[in-house]
Amino acid sequence: GIQVEQSPPDLILQEGANSTLRCNFSDSVNNLQWFHQNPWGQLINLFYIPSGTKQNGRLSATTVATERYSLLYISSSQTTDSGVYFCAALSGGYNKLIFGAGTRLAVHP
């Protein structure tokens, strides 16, 4: 089955800095999502992005499906951006998301 790898595993930033999180997947996908897990455990949808580029405020994402990777950009980071970011891919039919191990982001004031 499809494998999803995220890098870096941990990231420490000063408030105001920019960052790029990467997600590599081993096969073609028809669903690629980015999530932010809040301190209470809920997965918050950031982007549904099987291909192309999307932006939402300070966050943007790009998926290059032909090269099997996706990038999440966080600009002007804030302490509230801290937490774990997951990408998840779906390959083939049905709603079985395969998650990466996550990137743990800590933003310090």
Partner 1 sequence: KAGVTQTPRYLIKTRGQQVTLSCSPISGHRSVSWYQQTPGQGLQFLFEYFSETQRNKGNFPGRFSGRQFSNSRSEMNVSTLELGDSALYLCASSGNWDTQYFGPGTRLTVL
Bridge partners, 19 (sequence order)? 74
Structure tokens at 90: 């779906």
CA dihedral 88, 10, 20, 107 (to 10 degrees): 120
Considering only residues 8, 96, 106, 108, which one is a binding residue for partner 1 as defined by CB under 8 A? 96
16 phi, psi to nearest 5 deg: 100, -15
Tokens representing 61 are 């994402």
Cβ 34 to partner 1 shortest distance, Å? 11
Which residue in 43, 59, 65, 71 binds partner 1 (CB under 8 A)? 43
Among 22, 68, 102, 104, binds partner 1 (CB under 8 A): 102
Which residues of the shown chain bind partner 1 in the complex (CB under 8 A)? 30-31, 33, 35, 40-43, 45, 48, 86, 88, 90, 93-99, 101-102
